[in-house]
Amino acid sequence: MPRALITGITGQDGLYLSELLLAKGYEVHGVIRGQNNPKRELVQQVVPDVVLHNGDLTDLSSLLRAMAVADPDEVYNLGAVSFVAYSWENARVTTEVTGNGVLNALEAVRLHSGRDLGRIRFYQASSSEMFGKVQEVPQRETTLLWPRSPYGVAKVYGHYMTINYRESYGMHASSGILFNHESPRRGPEFVTRKVSMGVAAISLGLQESLTMGNLDAQRDWGFAGDYVEGMWRMLQQPEGGDYVLSTGETHSIRELLDVAFARVGIDDWSGLVEQDPRFMRPAEVDLLVGDASKAREVLGWEPKVGFRELVEMMVDSDVARLRDGLAR
């Protein structure tokens, strides 16, 4: 039975990846942070077979302890302070976790591997936010990185550190440059989930309006369930590498609102959405749109769920969840 260790187990991707690996017959271990972590119960409910280890990306010895017990064949580093807007206010902690945390994870793998440095396969969750002020459209693995937030800068550090461990030690280390990927499990601070939750609440008469930031921003949004399959495929290759995962399509926040409101029968949402500078960012990334040709050709990967289907899935899930709550 192959064994995997996942950091960021409580997040959207951690849960989808755990489900995927368990279905493939893996023994799955997860590193969970903090005393009384409020998400522990969620993980135990959704994926009860995952073995949890207390640990923190900023604490190398805790990672080494988890490695010693799990003795994994594959390590997926999904843990991060992952919200771009928050990273401006908490640049230092973002740097420690999202940046230096990658070095700790790589060190834990290197030290646990002993002499056989290719024994454990490593996945780093890199991000399209590394492209920031984009130098090329669409963006691919070779596009010059120009991050535009403390989060993006920290991810660039982790990306190059992963490449360096591959080149310096011959480790099987891969970096997945994932464009935005969403699902009903997405955190409510991200724009897609904020919209799906708000639209669901408005449709049920529980909320009057939605307060948003920049409606002209555009993103390349895919479904998280499709993207974790790409992560796994990267680690099944004979050698580590860097891969963009994206849909190649871009949509604006306005289009997101169009599709979400239409799903609950509202065609004109102009009176229901306000804009507030509180949700604007000090700097925006430009036109983020990915070219996933390499993943398609080498990994045979492609996204299955399209933009409309994704948004409708999220709105439906939030409507059902709120209805459930009202019925109780």
As annotated, the active-site residues are 127, 129, 151
- Could you say which of 217, 259, 295, 310 contacts ligand GDP (CB under 6 A)? 217
Stretch that binds ligand GDP, among 2-10, 19-27, 108-116, 278-286 (CB under 6 A): 278-286
Contact between 213 and ligand GDP (CB under 6 A)?
A: yes
Cβ(258)–Cβ(227) below 8 Å: no
Contact between 153 and ligand GDP (CB under 6 A)?
A: no
Q: Tell me, residue by residue from 129 to 148, as one string, x for binding to ligand GDP by CB under 6 A and - for no binding.
A: x-------------------
Closer residue to ligand GDP (CB): 157 or 165: 157
Phi-psi bin for 114: left (phi > 0), alpha (psi -120 to 50), beta?
left
Q: How far is the CB of 217 from ligand GDP (least distance, A)?
A: 3
Q: How far is the CB of 170 from ligand GDP (least distance, A)?
A: 33
Identify residue 136 by its one-letter amino acid code.
E
Residue with tokens 């580590």: 240
Q: How far apart are the first and last CA of the chain?
A: 42
Q: How far is the CB of 281 from ligand GDP (least distance, A)?
A: 5
Closest residue by Cα to residue 103 from 161, 31, 54: 161
Crossing angle between the packed helical segments 12-23 and 224-235, to the nearest 10 degrees: 60
DSSP class of residue 279? G
Contact between 312 and ligand GDP (CB under 6 A)?
A: no
Phi-psi bin for 36: left (phi > 0), alpha (psi -120 to 50), beta?
left
Contact between 81 and ligand GDP (CB under 6 A)?
A: no
- Could you say which of 18, 180, 196, 246 contacts ligand GDP (CB under 6 A)? 180
What does the alpha-carbon distance between residue 215 and residue 273 come to, in Å, rounded to a whole number? 10
Stretch that binds ligand GDP, among 25-33, 112-120, 183-191, 196-204 (CB under 6 A): 183-191
- Could you say which of 84, 161, 228, 313 contacts ligand GDP (CB under 6 A)? 84
CA distances from 289 to 18, 264, 271 (A): 27, 28, 30
For the four alpha carbons of 150, 180, 15 and 260, in that order, the dihedral sign comes to positive
Closer residue to ligand GDP (CB): 18 or 128: 128
Q: Is 139 helix (H, G, I), strand (E, B) or coil?
A: strand
Contact between 110 and ligand GDP (CB under 6 A)?
A: no
Pair of tokens at residue 52: 């949890």
Element (H, E) at 274: strand 273-275
Element (H, E) at 108: helix 101-113
Q: How far is the CB of 292 from ligand GDP (least distance, A)?
A: 17
- Could you say which of 255, 284, 302, 312 contacts ligand GDP (CB under 6 A)? 284
Pair of tokens at residue 292: 């996933």
Q: Contacts with ligand GDP: how many residues (CB under 6 A)? A: 17
- Could you say which of 4, 178, 191, 305 contacts ligand GDP (CB under 6 A)? 191
Closer residue to ligand GDP (CB): 75 or 231: 231
Contact between 212 and ligand GDP (CB under 6 A)?
A: yes
Contact between 219 and ligand GDP (CB under 6 A)?
A: yes
Q: How far is the CB of 195 from ligand GDP (least distance, A)?
A: 8
Cβ(274)–Cβ(280) below 8 Å: no
Which residues lie near ligand GDP (CB under 6 A)? 84-85, 129, 180, 189-191, 194, 212-214, 217, 219, 253, 279, 281, 284
